[in-house]
Amino acid sequence: MAHNEPDTATRHLARRVKEVRTRRGLTAQQLAEALQEQGVFWQRTTVVKLENGTRENVTFNEVLALAYVLGVAPVHLMVDPDSVEPYPVTEQVSAPASAVRSWVRGFKPLDDTDPRTFYTEVPAVEFGKREDHPDRYDWVTDVARYLSRSMGRMYKRDDGSAVLEVELPRKESHGEPGEAAER
């Protein structure tokens, strides 16, 4: 990998694959064979090209298969858990590795992302689960505070869960009582 080339997410992934593969005692050939058993038809040379930086693209299916075969969560291949360096999210955007890890896990938006948009895709069963990760509580609290200031009130239940009561504006009915208004 040339040192004067820009750092990319793929290069981070390549370094992590090599680190984890080596730690697991696997050769590039053994990793390729394990990937083939999972339907990803890599050769030893494909692994070597990824690790030395001459293969610049990896599909999402390949990332998932690499993580599965190496026995780690995809986030641990994508973003080094020990890194303090900025992580290149795109060619124009980088963020602290810890922030990127929280973002990839769906816990917190990156700084320049609108939290109202980000949190709309959080499944209801995951929203507010504090025990999953400490960052999760922070963002839930942040969103709830934001919403409660503008639209309602927030309180905690005896079990420690948070409740946000939101009062939405009522639509005026233009018909008889009990009749649905035409649109």
* Stronger pLDDT, 133 or 40, i.e. the higher one: 40
Average pLDDT over residues 81-99: 92
pLDDT-wise least confident of 1-5, 57-61, 120-124: 1-5
* Stronger pLDDT, 20 or 109, i.e. the higher one: 20
Spatial CA neighbour of 65 closest among 104, 37, 46, 27: 37
Alpha helices in the chain, H assignment, sequence order: 9-23, 28-37, 44-52, 60-70, 74-78, 97-104, 115-118, 134-151
Three-state SS at 90: coil
Q: How far apart are CA 149 and CA 143, in angstroms?
A: 10
Confidence of residue 2 (pLDDT cuts 50, 70, 90): very low
Domains of the chain plus CATH, in order, are: 1-105 (1.10.260.40), 107-166 (no CATH)
Residue 27 confidence (pLDDT) above 60: yes
Mean of the per-residue pLDDT values of the chain: 81
pLDDT-wise least confident of 60-64, 98-102, 160-164: 160-164
What pLDDT score does 181 carry?
A: 45
Digit-coded pLDDT (tens) for 112-123: 888 888 888 877
Digit-coded pLDDT (tens) for 129-164: 555 555 554 555 666 666 666 666 666 677 766 666
pLDDT-wise least confident of 26-40, 96-110, 146-160: 146-160
Residues 6+ apart with CB under 8 A from 155: 162, 163, 165
Confidence of residue 170 (pLDDT cuts 50, 70, 90): low
**Cα 136–chain centre separation:** 12
pTM of full prediction above 0.75: no
